[in-house]
Structure 1
Amino acid sequence: MITTRDHEYRMLAWRFKQAGIENPSLDARLLVQAAAGCDEIEMIREPGKRLGEADVEKLRTFEARRMAHEPVSRILGSREFWGLAFEVTPATLDPRPDSETLIATALDLLGKVTAPRILDIGTGTGCLLISLLHERKDAGGLGVDISEEALAVAARNAASLGCADRAAFRRASWAQGIDERFDLVISNPPYIPTAVIATLDEEVKAFDPSLALDGGVDGYDAYRAIGAELPRLLKPESHAVVELGIGQDADVAKIFSEAGLEVLDVVADLAGVPRAIVARLPRR
């Protein structure tokens, strides 16, 4: 059967829509482009270009995986974050656009800091640390994670995005064993209560690693662990920027305050949801 890029895109988008897939047109376009080995400009310029049998077979495989609620980023092995392409694997959390709030906030805080040192706790793909290093060419940093597989992904992302000489990665439970002080600590910790994980969308609970989701019985285990470490990790008057789950801002502020930090702000994402808490280590 002879088929074209545009035909496959329109039919796939229709089938996704009928199946209740969110963003059916976008998902269809991305998968057709990947199967055909073309970019968006080529897709627009040559919509009638035929797909070979191998391309169609690949597309059918992609379609079956998406119909099973596997996210497009996991099918393709890549997710865009802060305008950069990050490799994602089953060992890493799929970076979300909401987390870009942390990057914008951190860059503002680092504005007047020369050659800042940054620590990323629970680095996963490395997207937070690497995005900051990409913006601040004078910065260096360390990403820590409990997962060796995630650390390998982060190291590959740092290499592919030109930051390998300024980014180091180390296995650690939270930041235990790290004896350096930093100008900024950033983290997107697991914050979903254990019992809630089973109620999440299939795309999350079936494909994101549980280590990156499970925040313990009340969802605050990671915040308590990180809060306890921050006073020895931050330079005096330096900042921590930590992602929040919905409705967690007041409780996390209390945890950080009780750990000896000064909570300065809670920053909302583009949807108006409190997304990042900013804390500072006071000068004694």
Structure 2
Amino acid sequence: MSAIGTCYPVWLRRLREAGIDAAGFELDLMLEEGLSLSKAQRLSHPEQEIGPENIAQIQQWISRREQGEPLQYLLGWWEFYGRRFSVGPGVLIPRADTEILVEQALKELEHVPAPRIADLCAGSGCVGLTIACERPTAQVSLLELSPDAFDYCARNVKALAPGCRLIRADVLRTTAGLTGLDAVLSNPPYIPSGDLPGLQKEVQKEPRLALDGAEDGLRFYREIPLLWKEALAPGGLIAFEIGFDQATAVVSFLERAGFCHIRTVKDYGGNDRVVLGRKPRLS
């Protein structure tokens, strides 16, 4: 048995020496998840003792973090739009930037009574499932190719929005029979293949399939509008999360595919983050 007040500074130093910027934040999350010990409890009762099994658990997590494994994979979950999503090796970790895509979709579909939505490259399902939770009348289909990501998405569907439809599919090859959609949404792979080796070590632990956007990072933006336009109802929305320097290219792809009312939305850091467009209505 050891007191938390004795163990904590040792563990914190290890994380800091591993180059983890938010070491204190991460360690507090580990303690809360592994020991059910909140930061307030740790500070008010530094004498509280923890057993050898719990110590071993935290030390194992720290060792894995030192090797670059993402904190989210250790915890088995991450929060997105106020909800916990199951995550682990093989699925992209939800990020706050993606909430901009969700916010814009909710605004654009505000006056559609029961919107029919496809979330392409769904990963954990954070985009489509969040919309399903925020708009219970929405009819959401989530499409994912990776077997590992599909399994995590299935867990999240069961936990958060069991009425959603989960489809195993390559969204560059098929629309899976979906028609009359009010929205096609996607946070696709958008990192150029040549940039992958230079990503931080935690990101390199995430699945390449969810990151690699081909040589220029633009493959999915180039192909999805052409294939999925016919699955949209007239006036239907298409919306992508994009990399900070990809807006001009993505806008041009939507224009060439015949979309209209195209615009770009910035994230809270001032970077271009979402491109939206509409399928023309019938004249």
Distance in 2, Cα, partners of 1:29 & 1:149? 28
Q: 1:61 to 1:238 in 2, by over 3 A?
A: same
228-237 or 73-82: which moved more? Answer: 228-237
97-106 or 228-237: which moved more? Answer: 228-237
Do the aligned partners of 1:224 and 1:255 also contact (CA within 8 Å) in 2? yes
Q: Who is 2:87 aligned against?
A: 88
Q: Who is 1:148 aligned against?
A: 147
**1:190 to 2:206 alignment:** no
Distance in 2, Cα, partners of 1:11 & 1:192? 37
Q: 1:39 to 1:156 in 2, by over 3 A?
A: farther
Distance in 2, Cα, partners of 1:179 & 1:100? 25
1:59-113 deviation per Cα after TM superposition (whole angstroms, max 9, x unaligned): 1000101111111101111111111111112221111111111111111111111
SS state of the match for residue 64, structure 1?
helix
Do the aligned partners of 1:267 and 1:276 also contact (CA within 8 Å) in 2? yes
Gaps of 5+ in 2: none
SS state of the match for residue 59, structure 1?
helix
Do the aligned partners of 1:123 and 1:154 also contact (CA within 8 Å) in 2? yes
Percent of counterpart pairs with the same letter? Answer: 31
Q: Spell out structure 1 runs of 4+ moving beyond 4 A.
A: 39-47
Q: 1:211 aligns with which of 194, 209, 212?
A: 209
> How many residue pairs are counted as aligned between the two chains?
280
TM-score (norm 2): 0.93
**Pairwise mapping of residues 79-228 of structure 1 onto structure 2 (< 5 A)?**
79-161=78-160, 163-165=161-163, 167-174=164-171, 176=174, 177-205=176-204, 207-228=205-226
SS state of the match for residue 3, structure 2?
coil
TM-score (norm 1): 0.93
Distance in 1, Cα, partners of 2:158 & 2:69? 27
Aligned-residue offset at 1:40: 5.2
Distance in 2, Cα, partners of 1:61 & 1:85? 23
Do the aligned partners of 1:155 and 1:164 also contact (CA within 8 Å) in 2? no
1:183-238 deviation per Cα after TM superposition (whole angstroms, max 9, x unaligned): 11110000111111011111111x11011011111111111121112311211112
Distance in 1, Cα, partners of 2:255 & 2:157? 33
Distance in 2, Cα, partners of 1:9 & 1:101? 36
Distance in 2, Cα, partners of 1:232 & 1:7? 62
**Pairwise mapping of residues 252-267 of structure 1 onto structure 2 (< 5 A)?**
252-267=250-265
1:253 alignment partner AA: V
Q: 1:44 to 1:115 in 2, by over 3 A?
A: farther
1:261 alignment partner AA: F
CA RMSD of aligned residues (A): 1.7
Q: Who is 2:71 aligned against?
A: 72
Aligned-residue offset at 1:43: 4.7
Gaps of 5+ in 1: none
